[in-house]
Structure 1
């Protein structure tokens, strides 16, 4: 009988986890430790350690760990596994390996990814503005979008608009629009657009916190928002986070390098993506980018690293530029962002 030790009460059935691992030939031995892994708000994630090795168990939560009420269907666990399995068909090193997948249990088990892989968000916040990582992230995203475009079976398998609305549109765009009534019509129209424009497999949380990086490549994590949707969401989501890191590092000695990163990601993605109308996709993505900036300070999951003064600056920036016709031009937004920062 295994002896368990854990840091805090555990939601999952530990005996069930052991039985599932034994099904795939893993003998954990006599002593097993369950330790919580931090960093996310939507799932309970546990590290299993034993003499046999390290494994990760992930179970989706019905209510996310944020201040505002935020509920979502736990079946997104299945969507995450399906996304991983799809990406592994053309780029297996870009996602974790699933060790156990069983629809009868509310979790799945995957390999533990440790050093030399490091969390990209943490490296960016520490001031590591490595342009190679930005290029890798942008081209990986384009590859996933390209590989999925036109696959009707994927459109059916990932027909999860209800989950996309619950996990992204409502907590980010709908909530931010309500908290800035003068901009609400823009947010409302964008939500309607994103509910109807659907052409590729979208990750839904394509940000530095979900990318592990090393000198040899990167691994994409946290795929539970995956759905058939518009590619503008993913590229805007990524580039927005790079602008937020620039805002965080403004007036530090890291700022010059970080000023280059949003445009680097944008141009490398659009150089690689195979879209029917790239110009249209760029216009849609640019306007959505402004809305996501506001959503990450006034939505249900605000970034934790921006001080009040910088959050207020971002609110003022979006309020000034979103109503302009040039809001659909990325170059205009990027230049205005940097200029306003430098002149404040």
Structure 2
């Protein structure tokens, strides 16, 4: 039996121990959920969420195409671990590419297409609504650390943040990935594979769109090496709109605002925070949080890059 300790650790995640293990049938990735996440703050979650991830990989593969998710090799519920076939090495981590200045709209377009298709194809699926009804991991890993924690740290807008979270939790419309960010996307142009499904649940699809948007916007505020994220943001939103439900609305803007603030002040700030012009992000989050009308695509871009 393959043991996790035999593998080479992969960096980047905070919620799991992930390693590449060489086997007679080729390299596999073994993932074991952690009870305490690898961050400075006390942040805990039941490692049994790994079995939700296995089910979610299968579901998203059915909804968006098998080529868009990893192949499951084996599952070990008794120790909250599972193995996936190692993805083709020509696919690179999208976050790493973006921070290195490689911005390919084809990747953003494909990511938006896949996400939109999964949301649209899952809407109305009562079987998926039942299978992924449990939101405990979303509450532990997203609502508490990204919304409630920030509300406590920013009491002047705590009421607004909690209201946004409450309204988002009341909307249950589709299968939600819960961690749809560039760090969880491997890509080579339009060839895209999505990773990390452990907070998948039946909920508001706006969360996924806002989560990805917030990360793209944060990367446009890297002060020491400004990145023109306009093509990527436009491509992502356009492709999503063509394939997914209609949700470019005030609620999306406000969820995005909260997630921008979460990556500055939450329990898991972005790992390049010291490079971010936080003032620009705070100002944009304030604008989006106060928005009372449906946003334009340009509203999701920082002022200097929206002209």
Shared fold, TM over 0.5 = yes
| Matching residue of 1:338 | 303
Contact conserved, 2:224 with 2:275, CA < 8 A, in 1? Answer: no
Give 1:304 shift. 1.6
| Matching residue of 1:94 | 68
Contact conserved, 1:290 with 1:322, CA < 8 A, in 2? Answer: yes
Pair 1:76 & 2:41 matched = no
Cα distance in 2, alignment partners of residues 259 and 116 from structure 1: 25
Contact conserved, 2:172 with 2:204, CA < 8 A, in 1? Answer: yes
After superposition, where does 1:116-127 map in structure 2 within 5 Å? Answer: 116-127=90-101
TM-score, normalised via structure 1 length:
0.82
CA deviation string 1:278-327 (max 9, x = no partner): 25x5221112111111111111110121336612432244235523435x
Kindly tell me: are residues 87 and 332 of structure 1, through their superposed partners in 2, closer, same or farther at Cα, counting changes over 3 Å? closer
Pair 1:17 & 2:14 matched = no
| Matching residue of 1:225 | 199
Pair 1:205 & 2:179 matched = yes
Secondary structure (helix, strand or coil) at the match of 1:233 reads helix
Pair 1:296 & 2:281 matched = no
After superposition, where does 1:1-344 map in structure 2 within 5 Å? Answer: 16-17=1-2, 33-90=6-63, 91-215=65-189, 217-248=191-222, 252=226, 254-255=227-228, 258-273=229-244, 275=245, 278=246, 282-307=249-274, 310-319=277-286, 321-326=288-293, 328-331=294-297, 333-334=299-300, 337-339=302-304
Secondary structure (helix, strand or coil) at the match of 2:38 reads coil
Contact conserved, 1:127 with 1:249, CA < 8 A, in 2? Answer: no
Contact conserved, 2:221 with 2:276, CA < 8 A, in 1? Answer: no
TM-score, normalised via structure 2 length:
0.91
Give 1:331 shift. 3.9
Secondary structure (helix, strand or coil) at the match of 1:38 reads coil
Kindly tell me: are residues 167 and 245 of structure 1, through their superposed partners in 2, closer, same or farther at Cα, counting changes over 3 Å? same
Cα distance in 1, alignment partners of residues 151 and 173 from structure 2: 25
Contact conserved, 1:94 with 1:219, CA < 8 A, in 2? Answer: yes
Contact conserved, 2:30 with 2:83, CA < 8 A, in 1? Answer: yes
Cα distance in 1, alignment partners of residues 216 and 58 from structure 2: 28
CA deviation string 1:214-244 (max 9, x = no partner): 2461100011010001000000111111111
Cα distance in 1, alignment partners of residues 249 and 243 from structure 2: 13
CA deviation string 1:21-76 (max 9, x = no partner): xxxxxxxxxxx942211110000112112454211111111111111111111121
Kindly tell me: are residues 309 and 150 of structure 1, through their superposed partners in 2, closer, same or farther at Cα, counting changes over 3 Å? closer
Kindly tell me: are residues 47 and 303 of structure 1, through their superposed partners in 2, closer, same or farther at Cα, counting changes over 3 Å? same
Secondary structure (helix, strand or coil) at the match of 1:96 reads coil
Cα distance in 2, alignment partners of residues 342 and 81 from structure 1: 40
103-112 or 60-69: bigger deviation: 103-112
157-166 or 117-126: bigger deviation: 157-166
Secondary structure (helix, strand or coil) at the match of 1:247 reads coil
Secondary structure (helix, strand or coil) at the match of 1:213 reads strand
Cα distance in 1, alignment partners of residues 120 and 53 from structure 2: 19
Point out the structure with max Rg over C-alpha.
Answer: 1
Contact conserved, 1:286 with 1:330, CA < 8 A, in 2? Answer: no
- Count residues in correspondence: 306
Cα distance in 2, alignment partners of residues 35 and 312 from structure 1: 39
Gapped runs of 5+ residues in structure 2?
A: none
Contact conserved, 2:110 with 2:190, CA < 8 A, in 1? Answer: no
Cα distance in 1, alignment partners of residues 216 and 263 from structure 2: 12
Between the two structures, name the one with larger relative contact order (CA 8 Å, sep ≥ 6): 2
